Structures are given as C-alpha cells and as structure tokens.
Amino acid sequence: MSFLDQIISWYSAHMNYASITAFMAVESSFIPFPSEVVIPPAAFVASQPESTLCVSGNYLLDVSIIVLFGTLGAMIGAIVNYGLSVWLGRLIIYKFADSRLGHLCLLSSEKLQRAEAYFRERGNISTFIGRFIPGIRQLISIPAGLARMHFGAFLWWTFIGAFCWNCILAAVGYVAAGQMDRIKQYSHELSVAILVVAGIAVLYFVVRKLIALRKR
C-alpha cells in the first residue's frame, strides 16, 4: 500500500462528523491547525464509492453535511475566541500572545495588531472576509471580541464566511476525487511531495522559533 493509499485509508477510518467538527473548532480557535487538512480530505473520502462508509461502520459521509459540520466547528472555535477576548480584555490577551504558550500557538502581539487593524479598516464584514485569508482566519474573532462587536452580527458573518470557505475546500476535495486515476498514477510523486512539504513546514517553524529565541 502506497503512502497516499495509507492516508486515504486513515481518513476513511477516522473521519466522521464529530471529528470534523472538533478539528474545525480547533482550527478556528487560536491553536494553529489548518482547515485544508480536514475538509478537502473528508470530501475526497466521501466522494469515493468504496470509501464513503468508515471502517468503523458508524458513519456514512456526505459532502454537503461535511460542509455543515465543518461550519459548525468553525463557529464554535470563533465563539471561544470572541468570548475569551470579551472576558479577558486586551491587556491579558496581548500578554498571552507574547507568552511562551502563546508563541507555541504561533501567536504574537504583532499578529494581533495586524488582525485588529484589519478589523478596524473593514468593520464588521471583516469577520466574513477574514475567513478566506491565512493568518487572519484564526485571529479575526479576537479583535471582534475586543471591539465588543454585536454578537448577532458576529455569528452571522462568521457563519457566512466559514460556510463559503468550507464550500471551496469541499469542492477541492470533490474535484480531486474525480481525478483518482491520475492521482494513483502519480501516487509516488505525490507521496514524496507531501513528505517534502511537511518537512519544509517543520523546518520553517523550528528555524522561526530559534530566530525568535535568539532575538530575545
């Protein structure tokens, strides 16, 4: 079994609506976790006739329901960020961002300042637009909470933004499923590419962490 087949098998065995919701809630909070590794693979598995039923036999995945549960998870994470920002306030949020734990979560006061500036420039609709921008997507709920944005408006724009973003991600997985024969043809090359990208990502974060420690 190739590395790519192993990945597909793992997603078929472990991906269900509960795990999708949980992963997307984490992605939408301040914990760094990309939605690109949740929704597209889940939609890919759901689009495979032989893979739609999880190995556990408990869940039958459907692309449209994946989008809905992914959006629910994104809203849960966003509400957590919003609530913490309202409850803790700017001073504590910024202290946490510059703490060791905050840095482990890839936070910093500079990132929060960029998110706040983005929110101020675009107003409430930034909670919608921000869902499509890497680096802003996970943080945009924090300035919304610090600014005490109307909670109903916050929920609405978060829902619309997360739903649209998850539709795009699901479409990527669905289209990839239609190219399964070509993917299998180049499975070795894709496996190598995945490992290389993962290695580069790990190296990037390690080097970035070392540079930050040296500056201190």
pLDDT for the residue numbered 55: 43
The predicted model gives 28-38 an average pLDDT of 75
pLDDT for the residue numbered 54: 47
Residue 136 CA to residue 32 CA, distance in Å, equals 12
The predicted model gives 41-62 an average pLDDT of 64
**Into how many domains does the chain fold?**
2
What is the total residue count of the chain? Answer: 216
Phi, psi for residue 137 in degrees, rounded to 5: -55, -45
Same domain, 116 and 166: yes
Does residue 27 surpass a pLDDT of 90?
no
Same domain, 175 and 208: no
pLDDT for the residue numbered 73: 92
Residue 167 CA to residue 172 CA, distance in Å, equals 9
Same domain, 124 and 216: no
Same domain, 78 and 130: yes
- In sequence order, the β-bridge partners of residue 53 are 60
Does residue 191 surpass a pLDDT of 60?
no
The predicted model gives 184-192 an average pLDDT of 52
Same domain, 161 and 208: no
Same domain, 9 and 112: yes
* pTM of the predicted model as reported, rounded to 2 decimal places: 0.71
CA 193 to chain centre: 21
Same domain, 23 and 123: yes
Same domain, 127 and 194: no
Query: Residue 215 is which amino acid?
Result: K
pLDDT for the residue numbered 195: 61
List pLDDT tens digits, range 80-116.
Answer: 989 888 888 778 888 877 777 777 766 777 878 878 7
State the chain's mean pLDDT as an integer.
76
3-class DSSP assignment, residue 30: coil
Same domain, 115 and 214: no
pLDDT for the residue numbered 58: 44
Same domain, 56 and 149: yes
The predicted model gives 182-199 an average pLDDT of 56
Same domain, 98 and 143: yes
pLDDT for the residue numbered 67: 92
Same domain, 112 and 197: no
Q: Which residues form the domain of 202? A: 186-216
Q: Could you tell me the pLDDT band of residue 72, with boundaries at 50, 70 and 90?
A: very high
List pLDDT tens digits, range 118-160.
Answer: 787 777 788 888 788 777 777 888 888 888 888 998 899 999 9
